[in-house]
Amino acid sequence: MVALIDWSGAMKYLRQFIKDRRGATAITFGLLLVPLLGFAGLAVDYSRASNDRSRLQNAADAAALAAASVFTGSNKAAAEARARAFLQANLGLRAEDINLNFSTENQKVSITLGGQTSTLFMHVLNKDNMPINVNATALAPLKPTTAKITIDKVTGYWFKKVSIIVVRNGKDVVVGTIKYTATDHNLYNGNGGGKTDPDINVPITFDLGDYTKLYLKMEIKNDGCDIGYKDKNGGKSRYVDCIATSESGYSKYNSTLKTDDPNTVNHLFVDGVQLPLGSKPPLDDLMNCDNTPHSHAWEDGGGWANQDFYYKITAACKSVDGENVRLTH
């Protein structure tokens, strides 16, 4: 005989099982445990990464400021060495695991650091490390500290003196001069020639010292001789023969041209470009800190097509005692 199955009873037990909620919380928690641990681990690891990034950013800032404080515009290797020394001091052994990119441009020192922070929980999700990258840029306002001048050529009938003037403690101080004294009106196809101090192609270097402002000045005396002297021939001869005199008419210059005077600044040409009338050129336009010679040419009168006093000037610069060095980001 075949036993009959009591389907009604079986369905009763099935309905009771479905309605039974005992143990559901445990099952749900078990299902959610892995993502919950993942989110908790993410929060912990993110917090650790943020702290590591903050420490790395502080180290990058300190290194950029240190490098900028010694950067002179031409000593990139020395500035980078100083940056690496500061990283080593701030990060210790970790500095060996940091990738450093160092660059200098437009008087700025830029540092990019790249590293990693290890995870505590996220390695469960196959994430063992988190990348950390920071940037720091410091501005190193450079100031010329010396100026090397080499006279190329000077022509004309008039005496000319070019001076470098700095403002120190509120006073104008002459820190260097170059001169031209006329001797022969017939030289250079009648444009006139003479002697210079220093001689043509003989460089001379001037120490600028500490200052708050710098400008260039050209003083002119029409008889071809410096103040305290006069042309014995009175300008009526081909040759200029300067002799000492105490006459008041020869005790001052006939005209003065200055780069800080908007009315006369256009008498100077820098690298072949005339400074605009009415302007007050920044120091960089007069002495660039790129450690290369730049051409200056002064026009003593108004013949703009042919200047009279040609020389090259090379500035050596530095950020004096870290003056005005600052982060720019």
For the chain, the structural domain boundaries read 23-139, 143-322
Other CB atoms closer than 10 Å to residue 58's CB: what's the count? 14
Residue 131: what residue type? P
Q: Inform me whether the pLDDT recorded for 13 exceeds 60.
A: no
Q: Mean per-residue pLDDT for 11-27?
A: 58
Asked if 214 and 259 count as a contact pair (C-beta separation under 8 A), the reply is no
DSSP state of 234: T
Which of 33-37, 52-56, 105-109 has the highest average model confidence (pLDDT)?
A: 52-56
Asked which of 34-38, 74-78, 303-307, 315-319 is least confident by mean pLDDT, the reply is 34-38
Looking up tokens 């479905």 gives 18
Segment 120-155, tens digit of pLDDT: 666 666 667 778 889 999 987 778 999 999 999 999
Quote the pLDDT of residue 72: 78
Give the residue from 181, 172, 248 showing the smallest Cα distance to 217: 172
By CB atoms closer than 10 A (0-12, 13-18, 19+), residue 106 is exposed
Residue 272: what residue type? G
Class of the 143-322 domain? mainly beta
Considering the entire predicted model, what is its pTM? 0.66
DSSP state of 239: B
Give Cα 226 to chain centroid, integer Å.
40
Q: Mean per-residue pLDDT for 240-262?
A: 97
Quote the pLDDT of residue 21: 59
Q: Inform me whether the pLDDT recorded for 16 exceeds 90.
A: no
Q: Inform me whether the pLDDT recorded for 289 exceeds 70.
A: yes
Q: Inform me whether the pLDDT recorded for 99 exceeds 60.
A: yes
Q: Inform me whether the pLDDT recorded for 319 exceeds 60.
A: yes
Asked if 68 and 52 count as a contact pair (C-beta separation under 8 A), the reply is no
Q: Compute the distance between CA of residue 231 and CA of residue 182 in angstroms, rounded to an integer.
A: 10
Q: Mean per-residue pLDDT for 279-305?
A: 89
Mean per-residue pLDDT over the chain, rounded: 86
Q: Mean per-residue pLDDT for 58-73?
A: 88
pLDDT band, very low/low/confident/very high, at 226 (cuts 50, 70, 90): very high
- The neighbouring-strand residues paired with 230 are 243
Quote the pLDDT of residue 215: 97
Q: Mean per-residue pLDDT for 273-296?
A: 92
Give the residue from 173, 165, 263, 178 showing the smallest Cα distance to 215: 165
Write phi, then psi, for 92 (nearest 5 degrees).
65, -135
| Upstream peptide bond of 144 is cis (omega within 30 degrees of 0) | no
Asked if 93 and 76 count as a contact pair (C-beta separation under 8 A), the reply is no
Q: Inform me whether the pLDDT recorded for 5 exceeds 80.
A: no
Q: Inform me whether the pLDDT recorded for 312 exceeds 90.
A: yes
Q: Inform me whether the pLDDT recorded for 2 exceeds 50.
A: no
Which of 42-56, 117-131, 168-182, 297-311 has the highest average model confidence (pLDDT)?
A: 168-182
